Structure 1
Amino acid sequence: MTSPRHALLHTLLLLPALAGGTAFAQTRGDTLALSFDAARARMIERSDKLAAAHAAVESKELQSQGLKGLGGPSVSVSGLAYAYNANLNLDLDPLNQRLGQLGQALPSPIQGLISQMPIPQLPNSYTINRHDTGSNASVSAVWPIYVGGATDAVRGFVSAQTREAQADADQAGHEVDTLLVQRYFGAQLARRAAALRAQAERTIAQHDSAAQKMLAAGVISRVERLQASAAYEEARRNARKAEDDAALAAVALARTVRADGSVAPQTPLFLISTPIEPLGYFIDSALTRHPGLDKVAAKKSQAEQLHEGEEALRRPQVIAFGTRQIKGGNADWVAGLGVRWTLYDSVDRDALSASSMKKVEQAERTDAQARSDISLLVERNWRALENARRQYLEMKASVELAQEVVKLRTSGLREGTSTTLDLIDAETNQAKVLTERAQAANDYVQALAQLLESAGLSDKFSDYIARADVRVN
């Protein structure tokens, strides 16, 4: 027969069980509901990081396009129009003196005759002025027939820079994909944790209120009442912290997809319960698709082109040239070939050539090290993914145990074999275990994103979502 004390406990403390999957926030008019694929499409369209990377690629492509004709002939037209005014002052005093000396040298009869005839004197000085206007125009052409391969080296260097910019853009694409996974599913986890903590707070609040009534009825001690109150305060603190974490995660996701309001993720945390492709599959993919290797290859190509440019300076250069006035009739013109070959230079070309070859060797060594590092990174991420998968599956027993303990404590409280604090502890532990399992699912998702990024397969993430057979709703 149930005692009055047990009946009161049964009435006050048998409250609704912890509900899973409760929504954290009500959907509002300014909330944008996005699946992962929709969020990714929005991010790709609006990401400043991707736009900057694509602009760098386009800049190099335009530069490469502009240098396609490097080494070909160039033709230019020049013209000028002019006007001038020139003055020349002549001093005639020396000439006057000379004329006087000549008169004295003549025979006496002639001198007498000249003395009877007045001869005007020249002025002391005379100014000559010239002024005119005119114009001139000509067309010129220069054609580097042979420059030792320098132009090909320049074009090859710029082409390699374009490939490097493309590798950087590809890497940026992988990085923003991984960042989106972190923030999208991080927001899912934070929202779920906040929902569990909020539900736990509400349930424990009801127990706290019931404990106050039981204390007033004299069926529990003051210590038990204080224990229930302390548990409720802890639940409140945990709920507020989880709510703040969820709000911050939501802001981060909204900033990532450039949303004005809040974003409600629609794709749940997921897991593929069976192992995915073997490690070798991802290592092979990384060694052919990782943007870091493409960048190293582009650096090596740049070093090779710089070496070829150094070698081109050792070879002779042949240039054709010509120019002609633009006018009718007998126009002036000139045309010819120029040859230049440096026989001696104060710069040590052998040392510079050896230096550029060391750059090539550096790129080769970097490529070997990068392949080793990337393979190790892929293996680490693959093992982290497997550990997260096993951890999630193994936590099933912990969840079932936590649920059974709640049922047991609820029944024990009704039968008088458990206390209020026992039930509160069981419900708190159940919320903790459910949160930890959701965290394990998020660990799996994040490890998958890291693995795909390291293997150069970030764009395949949605394919794995479609393959998932476990979804944490």
Structure 2
Amino acid sequence: MKFALSTLSTAVMTVTLMSLAASNSANANDDTITSQNEVAPVVVTQIIDADNQSVTQKSNLQNKAATTKTQTAKAEFKTGLSTLIDPITHKSIDNSYPLEVSSLLSLEQAQNILLQVSPKVAANQAAIAASEYETDALKTIDNPLVFARVSANAYNLDADVDLSSIKTGIINDVNSSVDSITPPIADLPDFGELIGDRIPDTYDLKRSGSTTGAGLGVVWPIYTAGRTAALTGASTARTQEAVADSILDTNELYNTLIERYFKAQLAIIAAYLREDAYDTVQQVDHMAQRLFEEGFISRVDRLEAQSALADAKSESVNANNDARLAMMALQRLLRTDYRIKPTTPLFVSSRPLPDVNYFQDLALSNHPGLQKVAAKRAQAQQLHALSDTGYKPTVMLYGYGQLEKDPSWIAGISASWKLWGGLDKTASLASSNAKIRQADLSEIEVSDNLLLLVEKNWHDVNNAQSRYQALQSNVDLAAEVLRLRRLGLQEGVNTPIDVVQAQTQSLKARTEQAQAANTYVQSLAALMQSCGTPLAFNAYLNAADIRLPTLYSK
């Protein structure tokens, strides 16, 4: 089982900024960006260059590191599979190979890498392989079993045998025999005693030696009443369940990737918007200082501008930290030791989704939850078949022969029945029938829940789409109000706090619209997962006609 570790970086972490719509401000010195499609380069420094290195210096260092790692990877890859160190847990992973991963990744690239580096996917593949091997092992259970027996023995016997009882018996038997065949003569010798004197009371027995033997036997179950087929079928059904579990986990991983990937994009946009707001408040603060010095505004207005500047700076720092954390979560999922920068932008499609019945039919045809229920039912059916063989015979051929000069052998056929005892057949059949019924009812329940989940996700996507489109007017209005407030501040009509409030409303409107786009993306991913077709998300992504700005691009 190959488990790839993404330990290499082949891309220099250089950022290409997207130069999008120009500012709507008529003032040539006004560098505040009001278009929602613009990206501020200051975010690059704050998000990426946290160690205060310049982009050029860091790029050079990364070039050298990437070159070194690439050379190491090529050397290791020539030797095939090896043991590598996981960059997150630092544990050794056997049967792995180095994987080259760029720091700039589109969603589709991240999806491909995820399948190669996820421990969960590799663990599920191992579980499926183990189940398949178990099924293969059971397929030969009714094949002839041939076995050989070889023995070698050595013995040593050292014992004292008590002959006294035997001696006494012989003496008595001899005397009785002599008395019965001869007349009584007083001077005849006692023949029993004469013989008994020659027999010892004990005998010391000593023997030693060795023996060898060999034999060959065969046992062949020629009829098992379907038990072998039932066991093999149950194992196959368990493999199908393992496959369904693996698909469920993979689909969930895809959904988690989309969640983290676009949350990182949203966090980057939020960081940019906060930085944009901070730039605006800085300009307002500078102008407020000039107006205060010239006596056009009060000290209270000046202090309010300073307070707004401090708040804007704090919010900007927090937003950048949130962006780093979101990118770190994506990095952990893809198991790299460097930060992953998403290049696929948030998106929304203005076209309506197909009817909900289309997605519900997809779910009933493709969702792995239903495949798992079907595998459970197949296991119950095989268990029923196995229980039904309880009182059927097992017929076996057998034979055994000794490998000697004059061999002895035996061969025959045997049939055995279970007459009583063991598992109760009636109870076993009732249990398997109950499990089949449980699987049938579970299929109904899972189908109902799937249909409801699909409909809920379908409505969530439509609601997010409507909200995004509805918020566009708020974004345009807030941008125009901000522009007029800033002009009014220059003309002395508005106060600095008016500009700050307008900036806050503009920030809120743009942030809400970006959040609506993320909600649309997450809801669409949930819809595709509930249909059992998570990769169909990519088709909607490619067909989307509204794309938000992205900080990173290839």
> Shared fold by TM > 0.5?
yes
1:375 aligns with 2:451: yes
Letter of the 2:464 partner, please give it: A
Structure 2, unaligned runs of 5 or more: 1-26, 49-57, 63-101, 550-554
The match for 2:82 is: none
Q: Is the partner of 2:241 in helix, strand or coil?
A: helix
The match for 1:161 is: 238
* CA pair 59-94 structure 1, distance change in 2 beyond 3 A: closer
Map 1:41-80 → 2, pairs under 5 A: 41-80=112-151
* CA pair 214-260 structure 1, distance change in 2 beyond 3 A: same
Taking the aligned partners of 2:195 and 2:155, their CA distance within structure 1 comes to 41
String of CA shifts for 1:206-262, please: whole Å, max 9, x gaps: 212332332233210122112212222221232122112111101001111112111
2:343 to 263, 266, 272: 266
1:139 aligns with 2:154: no
Taking the aligned partners of 2:423 and 2:232, their CA distance within structure 1 comes to 24
The match for 2:227 is: 150
Taking the aligned partners of 1:119 and 1:61, their CA distance within structure 2 comes to 79
2:488 to 367, 390, 412: 412
Shift of 1:337: 1.7
1:90 aligns with 2:161: yes
* CA pair 112-385 structure 1, distance change in 2 beyond 3 A: closer
Q: Is the partner of 1:318 in helix, strand or coil?
A: strand
Structure 1, unaligned runs of 5 or more: 1-11
* CA pair 100-350 structure 1, distance change in 2 beyond 3 A: closer
Residue pair 2:297, 2:495 contacting (<8 A) in 1 also:
no
The match for 1:325 is: 402
1:180 aligns with 2:257: yes
Residue pair 1:392, 1:437 contacting (<8 A) in 2 also:
yes
1:25 to 44, 57, 70: 44
Taking the aligned partners of 1:93 and 1:57, their CA distance within structure 2 comes to 75
Shift of 1:178: 0.6
The match for 2:513 is: 437
Residue pair 1:56, 1:165 contacting (<8 A) in 2 also:
yes
Shift of 1:392: 1.0
Shifted more, 276-285 versus 24-33: the winner is: 24-33
The match for 1:246 is: 323
Residue pair 1:96, 1:121 contacting (<8 A) in 2 also:
no
Taking the aligned partners of 2:196 and 2:349, their CA distance within structure 1 comes to 127
Letter of the 1:206 partner, please give it: Q
Taking the aligned partners of 1:433 and 1:446, their CA distance within structure 2 comes to 20
Taking the aligned partners of 1:18 and 1:199, their CA distance within structure 2 comes to 7
Shift of 1:190: 0.1
Taking the aligned partners of 1:92 and 1:433, their CA distance within structure 2 comes to 117
Q: Is the partner of 2:304 in helix, strand or coil?
A: helix
Shifted more, 25-34 versus 432-441: the winner is: 25-34
Taking the aligned partners of 1:154 and 1:279, their CA distance within structure 2 comes to 42
Shift of 1:67: 1.3
Taking the aligned partners of 2:209 and 2:270, their CA distance within structure 1 comes to 94
* CA pair 37-100 structure 1, distance change in 2 beyond 3 A: closer
Residue pair 2:296, 2:492 contacting (<8 A) in 1 also:
no
Residue pair 1:13, 1:210 contacting (<8 A) in 2 also:
no
The match for 2:303 is: 226
Residue pair 2:218, 2:398 contacting (<8 A) in 1 also:
yes
Letter of the 1:52 partner, please give it: A
Residue pair 1:13, 1:207 contacting (<8 A) in 2 also:
no
The match for 1:398 is: 474
Residue pair 2:457, 2:527 contacting (<8 A) in 1 also:
yes
Residue pair 2:171, 2:196 contacting (<8 A) in 1 also:
no
Sequence identity percentage: 36
Taking the aligned partners of 1:370 and 1:98, their CA distance within structure 2 comes to 90
Shift of 1:410: 2.2
Taking the aligned partners of 2:423 and 2:262, their CA distance within structure 1 comes to 60
Taking the aligned partners of 2:195 and 2:338, their CA distance within structure 1 comes to 114
Residue pair 2:32, 2:276 contacting (<8 A) in 1 also:
no
Taking the aligned partners of 2:261 and 2:146, their CA distance within structure 1 comes to 59
The match for 1:203 is: 280
* CA pair 254-90 structure 1, distance change in 2 beyond 3 A: closer
The match for 2:545 is: 469
Letter of the 1:38 partner, please give it: Q
Shifted more, 89-98 versus 214-223: the winner is: 89-98
Letter of the 2:421 partner, please give it: D
The match for 1:282 is: 359
TM-score (norm 1): 0.91
2:460 to 372, 384, 392: 384
Q: Is the partner of 1:218 in helix, strand or coil?
A: coil
String of CA shifts for 1:408-431, please: whole Å, max 9, x gaps: 212322343322211121122212
Residue pair 2:257, 2:330 contacting (<8 A) in 1 also:
yes
Taking the aligned partners of 2:169 and 2:149, their CA distance within structure 1 comes to 50
Residue pair 1:143, 1:320 contacting (<8 A) in 2 also:
yes
Shift of 1:95: 5.3
Shift of 1:89: 3.3
String of CA shifts for 1:16-74, please: whole Å, max 9, x gaps: 32353224224653581111111112211101111111111111111111111122221
String of CA shifts for 1:165-216, please: whole Å, max 9, x gaps: 0001111111111111011111011011001101211220221233233223
1:458 to 519, 528, 534: 534
The match for 2:4 is: none
Higher helix share: 1
TM-score (norm 2): 0.78
Taking the aligned partners of 1:195 and 1:76, their CA distance within structure 2 comes to 76
The match for 1:236 is: 313
Letter of the 1:204 partner, please give it: V
Taking the aligned partners of 1:112 and 1:306, their CA distance within structure 2 comes to 87
Taking the aligned partners of 2:429 and 2:166, their CA distance within structure 1 comes to 71
Residue pair 1:18, 1:427 contacting (<8 A) in 2 also:
no
Please, what is the CA RMSD of the aligned residues? 2.5
The match for 1:8 is: none
Q: Is the partner of 1:395 in helix, strand or coil?
A: helix
* CA pair 369-98 structure 1, distance change in 2 beyond 3 A: closer
Q: Is the partner of 1:44 in helix, strand or coil?
A: helix
Residue pair 2:170, 2:196 contacting (<8 A) in 1 also:
no
Residue pair 1:85, 1:129 contacting (<8 A) in 2 also:
yes
Q: Is the partner of 1:25 in helix, strand or coil?
A: helix
1:16 aligns with 2:31: yes
* CA pair 375-82 structure 1, distance change in 2 beyond 3 A: same
Of structures 1 and 2, the one scoring higher in RCO (CA 8 A, sep 6+) is: 1
Letter of the 1:179 partner, please give it: T
